[in-house]
Structure 1
Amino acid sequence: MRIQDLPFPDPGVPDARSGPRLLWWLFGNQLSGQLVALAWGLLHFASVAALPFCVGVAVQAAVDRSGERLALAGGLLALVCVSNAVGDTFLHRAAVTNWITAAARVQQLLARKAADLGAALTRRVAAGEVVTVSTGDVEKIGWFVEALSRFTAAAVTIVLVSAGLVVYQPALGVVVAVGVPVLACAVLPLLPHATRRADVQRAKAGRATELASDTVAGLRVLRGIGGEELFLERYRRASQEVRHAAVRSARMWSLIAALQVLLPGLLLIGVVAYGVHLARQGRVEVGELVAVYSSVMLLGYPLRHVMEIAMAYSFSKPSARRAARVLALERAMDAEGSLPGQSVSGDLYDPETGLCAPSGRLTAVVCGDPDVAGRLAERLGGHAPQPGASVLLGGVPLDELPLESAREAVLVQDKDPVLLSGTLRELLDVPASGKVEPQAALEAAQCGDVLAALVQGSLDVRDPMDARLTERGRSLSGGQRQRLALARSLVADPEVLVLDEPTSAVDSHTEARIAQGLRDLRSGRTTVVFTSSPLLLDRADRVVFLHEGTVVAVGTHRELVRTEPRYRAVVTRETEDEARLEEPRDTREDRAAPPEDRAAPPEVPHRLETFEEPEELEEIEETA
């Protein structure tokens, strides 16, 4: 796999049962790259390990005054240096490639999981944790995956050099063969403590950052109540806790670094002292002593890779555990299988609240609690919080549909939709049925003034479709962003369109025209609108009123205004007692009578009854 081939056509199905299993799965999925890195690593480390033997041969040749052996040693030394340079260069290339490809694979898997779960992801995992996994954690995971091949090459080199020294000079070789494993394992018991201290430091730093951001965001309020000093003192304490945690963590890591220098130095001193003693006895030649000394000195280089893999695993294990926890999430019914891909239509029914949106009709939903309305809108999009609570479309649970079919069937527009940067043409270039043209959607959403504003704000652009939108549409007002998002949803033309407060930021005249345009353009399609606006409610085929998360009344807007005080209280912003007092006397008597004795509600216009055409609003204002 090459970096220029990224992203992967298919990142695969990860083994997310645990963090170590995920790491092993990543290693196995780029085995060819690991083998390439291993081969170049062996060439590099073997060249480094061969340098002392070449130097030893050269020194012994000089002592014996042998020109031929000195020339041979010089040629071998040049060959080893070239091999070292080539191996180091291509090992670095292979290692970086393995690092980036492993991180990219995890990021693709996380992006695919986020697309599969949609809004349900942040209900199961904190949004901050998802961001942490997709940024910092993927780097640590990639570090361990790529370091594994370099560690393997270093370990093989250490074993071969130790065995070679035992054969080359048994007396000194045994000392090295025993001392090197001790060096490799000496600092391992300290790594868990260092990792825990580093985790504590990161946690405290995160809390301090959160406290600082909250303080800045609420600075105006704090000044109003005189609480700046209180929160500043809290931040000082949090900052000092971060400092103390950082010092404790640095002390442990400095101890580990000191041991990595001290222990190889002690081994080198021991080898030299013992070698000098053997040389005095004539049991070791000068060249052999130099070769063993140089070998022990250069073994510190591959030994550092042993320390590195231990550190990489200590850091990557919690990161892999967090990534596996996110990747293990599934849609409610995915584990039990899904129906074959097919287009589904019919009534939209939510068993939890009793909401039913008939097929092909415009249904308005009124709910006094915005949070409940938002959760219901997400649920209507197929994101059930738990199995068995899925919304039914045509009698089929949305969670049992393949993701592609569910997305084609139901589209949910959030209360605060996001507009991506780019041209207006790109914004409206979405997967669609092809039955709704962008111009018709823009007209239905009353985007005429938005198009004019985009043209005026752009240089050398005459066609509004070629005008560019800034990130998140920041150059537009809230109402303009809402209307463009509505136009985008209308272009998609799904079987079921769910809109959560689509006109909360527009004026009444525009809202009335949008209500009529939405009704006309979505004729014959199922549309659910969460709103409390009388202008939208009066255009709906039926209105469903929810109280405390349950459907309590169904009818038209005018019927519910006359007969349901709680509905009127939500729509008119009156209290329920005020609404009951304003209710006509005969209606109150009918509501108090048994159901079989109730008279039909009188057909009298209510004072809040909306006009049939938006133009009548203008006439009233002109008269006023």
Structure 2
Amino acid sequence: MQIRDLPYPDPGVPDVRSGFRLLVWLWRAQLGGQAKSLAWGTLHMAAIASFPVVVGMAVEAATTGFGERLVPVGALTAALGLVVMVGDTMLHRTAVTNWITAAARVQQLLARRTAELGATLTRRVAAGEVVAVSTGDIEKIGWFVESVSRFGAALLSTVGVCAALTVYEPLLGGVVTLGVVVLVLAVLPLLPPATRRADAQRAKAGRATELAADTVAGLRVLRGIGGEELFLDRYRKASQETRRAAVRTARMWSLIDAVQVVLQGLLLLSVLWFGTRLALEGRVAVGELVTVYGAVTFLLFPLRLFQEVAMAYSFSKPSARRAARVLALRREGAGRHAGGGGDTEEPREPHGDLYDPASGLIAPTGALTAVVCGDPDTAGRLAERLGGHAVDSDPEVPSALLGGVALDELPLETARAAVLVQDKDPVLLSGTLGELLDVPSSGAVTARQALDAAQCGDVLDALARSTADPGGEPMEARITERGRSLSGGQRQRLALARSLVADPRVLVLDEPTSAVDSHTEARIAEALRRVRAGRTTVVFSSSPLLLDRADRVAFVRDGTVVATGTHRGLLAREPEYRAVVTRDTTDTTDTTGADGTAEDVARNAGTCGPHRHEQMEETA
């Protein structure tokens, strides 16, 4: 795999049992690139290690009076220089390729897992943690995966040079080999505390990133309640804790560096002192002493790579552990009842009534079904379950069925093509309005029809005014990240328009009009019924304006459907339902008003009764 070939057609199935196993899997996934880096690294270091031999030959020729030998020695030196240049260039090329491709593989895997889990991801992992994993962590993971091949080249070169020195000059070679072993072993006790400090630093950095992401996402709300200083103060404290942890980590690695420098200096002095004594005694020639000294100097280079791979591992270990935790997340219940072995049949596109066995909710085909839940969290979990995204911690909770087919057993693409869930806090990606509405669809509903149905006229006017060209095309206007330049009601209506354009077989809307005023909501309710005619639509809401236009209303209490019927009929006979819809908790027993019949109460609540929005359209 080369950088120009990215992204991967298939990044593979990672081993996420632990962070270490993920690192091993990544290394094995690019054995070809690792082999190239190992080969070029070994050639590069072997050429550098050969220089002391050539210099020793030159010194020997000069001191013994054989000056004619200097010409071939010079030619050999030039050849070695060329090999070093080529080897260094290719090593750098292959190392960077391994680094980038490993990081890109992890990034693709994270993107695939994020797309699979959708909105349920942030219910299991903090958004800031996902951001930290997909940015800084993948670089650290790629660094370690890449450094393994260079470590292998350094290890081969070190063993080879020590063996050659022992054969070439046994006494000095033995001293050098012993010194190298001491250098490696001296650092090992310092690595565990360095790793622990790196873990602590990574944890604090992740916490700071999480606070920053949460603060930015909720800045509008924080400013409205005057709480931005509180959150900024928390971020400052988290940032200072991260700084202190980074300083502690840097101090440990500085200590390791100092130990390495001192021991390397002692090794050089020891070899030089011992070799000089042997040379004065005539037991080694001057050229041999120069060769040994040059070889020891070379060994300091691979020893630094040993330290680098140890540092890379200490930093990548917590990053890999967190990445493995995110990649291990699955659609709960996916394949729960799937059989093993044998050929699998192509999944048929499901159609029919939408049924949730856990709650008993039934959404008939082609009808507009409204669901009233007293608990917003219950509504959110039920909406996700209707889309085939199980979020309940209990693995025994059955999947929702569409036409008798379990949604969480279908391939993700099939399930999402059949059922689209718009949660209560939909996300608008940055880009133009045309790009926002350019989603896979049947083509039955155009962008203009969807915008009209979602009552986005004022949104289009605002976007047209924001373009550089006055009176420009609103579809070319840019929407900022998450639509922060728009009000809450405007964002909500654009998200509804996007869902209507998609025109799925089943559309599940969780509080689609909670941030708009009652007049706009009434028009949206009427248009929704018209645009979705013949399609199955489920709306979670307690707004009388939406409920009165539904074909069927289901009342959910404690996660179970306890009553079904029309909005007016439920108002007349279900006190608890009436209390939830009218927000009147003082009367849950009487079915008639003080001055009217039950039918009067139903009629008034369905048209002009108490409304929970009370002009909630945001203007900030």
The corresponding residue for 2:334 is: 333
Measure, in 2, the Cα distance between the counterparts of 1:159 and 1:516: 80
Larger displacement relative to structure 2 (234-243 or 134-143):
234-243
The corresponding residue for 2:369 is: 363
The corresponding residue for 1:591 is: none
Distance 1:196 1:574, change over 3 A: same
1:551 equivalent among 550, 561, 565: 561
Residues 29-71 of structure 1: per-residue CA shift (max 9 Å, x gap):
2111112211221121112111111111111122123222222
The corresponding residue for 1:619 is: none
Distance 1:515 1:602, change over 3 A: closer
Given that residues 575 and 590 in structure 2 are in contact (C-alpha distance below 8 angstroms), is that contact kept between their aligned partners in structure 1? no
Given that residues 340 and 401 in structure 1 are in contact (C-alpha distance below 8 angstroms), is that contact kept between their aligned partners in structure 2? no
Measure, in 2, the Cα distance between the counterparts of 1:531 and 1:355: 15
Measure, in 1, the Cα distance between the counterparts of 2:261 and 2:601: 93
The one-letter amino acid paired with 1:447 is C
Give the match's secondary structure for 1:539: coil
The one-letter amino acid paired with 1:285 is A
Give the match's secondary structure for 1:113: helix
Give the match's secondary structure for 2:485: coil
Aligned residues: 595
Q: Does 1:288 align with 2:288?
A: yes
The corresponding residue for 1:45 is: 45
Give the match's secondary structure for 1:606: helix
Measure, in 2, the Cα distance between the counterparts of 1:243 and 1:297: 36
The corresponding residue for 1:394 is: 403
Q: Does 1:409 align with 2:418?
A: yes
TM-score by length of 2: 0.89
Distance 1:571 1:220, change over 3 A: same
Shift in Å, 1:355 = 1.6
Shift in Å, 1:27 = 1.3
The one-letter amino acid paired with 2:428 is L
Shift in Å, 1:558 = 0.9
Distance 1:118 1:157, change over 3 A: same
The corresponding residue for 2:256 is: 256
The one-letter amino acid paired with 1:482 is Q
Measure, in 1, the Cα distance between the counterparts of 2:34 and 2:174: 32
Measure, in 1, the Cα distance between the counterparts of 2:150 and 2:187: 19
Give the match's secondary structure for 2:606: coil
The corresponding residue for 1:152 is: 152
Given that residues 202 and 318 in structure 2 are in contact (C-alpha distance below 8 angstroms), is that contact kept between their aligned partners in structure 1? no
The one-letter amino acid paired with 1:200 is A
Within-5 A mapping of 1:15-30: 15-30=15-30
Within-5 A mapping of 1:575-614: 575=585, 577-580=586-589, 583-584=592-593, 606-610=603-607
The one-letter amino acid paired with 1:402 is P
1:490 equivalent among 488, 494, 500: 500
The one-letter amino acid paired with 1:45 is M
The one-letter amino acid paired with 2:37 is A
The one-letter amino acid paired with 2:605 is L
Shift in Å, 1:519 = 0.5
Measure, in 1, the Cα distance between the counterparts of 2:222 and 2:432: 37
Shift in Å, 1:409 = 0.7
Within-5 A mapping of 1:425-440: 425-440=434-449
The one-letter amino acid paired with 1:288 is E
Measure, in 2, the Cα distance between the counterparts of 1:430 and 1:221: 34
The corresponding residue for 2:186 is: 186
Measure, in 2, the Cα distance between the counterparts of 1:207 and 1:108: 24
2:511 equivalent among 501, 516, 529: 501
The one-letter amino acid paired with 1:343 is E
Within-5 A mapping of 1:106-125: 106-125=106-125
Measure, in 1, the Cα distance between the counterparts of 2:457 and 2:474: 10
Measure, in 2, the Cα distance between the counterparts of 1:391 and 1:407: 13
Give the match's secondary structure for 2:515: coil
Shift in Å, 1:206 = 5.4
Distance 1:76 1:273, change over 3 A: same
The corresponding residue for 2:69 is: 69
Give the match's secondary structure for 1:574: coil
Given that residues 563 and 587 in structure 1 are in contact (C-alpha distance below 8 angstroms), is that contact kept between their aligned partners in structure 2? no
Distance 1:215 1:92, change over 3 A: closer
Within-5 A mapping of 1:128-167: 128-167=128-167
Measure, in 2, the Cα distance between the counterparts of 1:77 and 1:129: 53
The corresponding residue for 1:379 is: 385
Where structure 1 has 5 or more consecutive residues not aligned to the other structure, the ranges are 589-600, 612-624
Measure, in 2, the Cα distance between the counterparts of 1:70 and 1:272: 25
Measure, in 1, the Cα distance between the counterparts of 2:467 and 2:211: 40
Where structure 2 has 5 or more consecutive residues not aligned to the other structure, the ranges are 340-344, 609-620
Q: Does 1:200 align with 2:200?
A: yes
Distance 1:128 1:35, change over 3 A: same
Identity %, equivalent residues: 67
Shift in Å, 1:323 = 1.9
Measure, in 2, the Cα distance between the counterparts of 1:239 and 1:483: 37
Measure, in 1, the Cα distance between the counterparts of 2:197 and 2:21: 25
Give the match's secondary structure for 2:603: coil
Larger displacement relative to structure 2 (425-434 or 15-24):
15-24
Structure having the higher Rg? 1
The one-letter amino acid paired with 1:606 is R
Shift in Å, 1:522 = 0.7
Task: Give me the CA root mean square deviation.
Answer: 3.0
Residues 141-180 of structure 1: per-residue CA shift (max 9 Å, x gap):
1111100111111111111111221222222112222322
Shift in Å, 1:578 = 3.2
The one-letter amino acid paired with 1:519 is R
Given that residues 515 and 539 in structure 1 are in contact (C-alpha distance below 8 angstroms), is that contact kept between their aligned partners in structure 2? yes
Given that residues 505 and 535 in structure 2 are in contact (C-alpha distance below 8 angstroms), is that contact kept between their aligned partners in structure 1? yes
Measure, in 1, the Cα distance between the counterparts of 2:249 and 2:2: 37
Within-5 A mapping of 1:255-334: 255-331=255-331, 332-334=333-335
Residues 284-311 of structure 1: per-residue CA shift (max 9 Å, x gap):
0001101101110121001111122222
Shift in Å, 1:414 = 1.6
Given that residues 571 and 601 in structure 2 are in contact (C-alpha distance below 8 angstroms), is that contact kept between their aligned partners in structure 1? no
Measure, in 1, the Cα distance between the counterparts of 2:511 and 2:215: 31
Measure, in 2, the Cα distance between the counterparts of 1:477 and 1:264: 64
Measure, in 2, the Cα distance between the counterparts of 1:151 and 1:94: 14
Given that residues 340 and 402 in structure 1 are in contact (C-alpha distance below 8 angstroms), is that contact kept between their aligned partners in structure 2? no
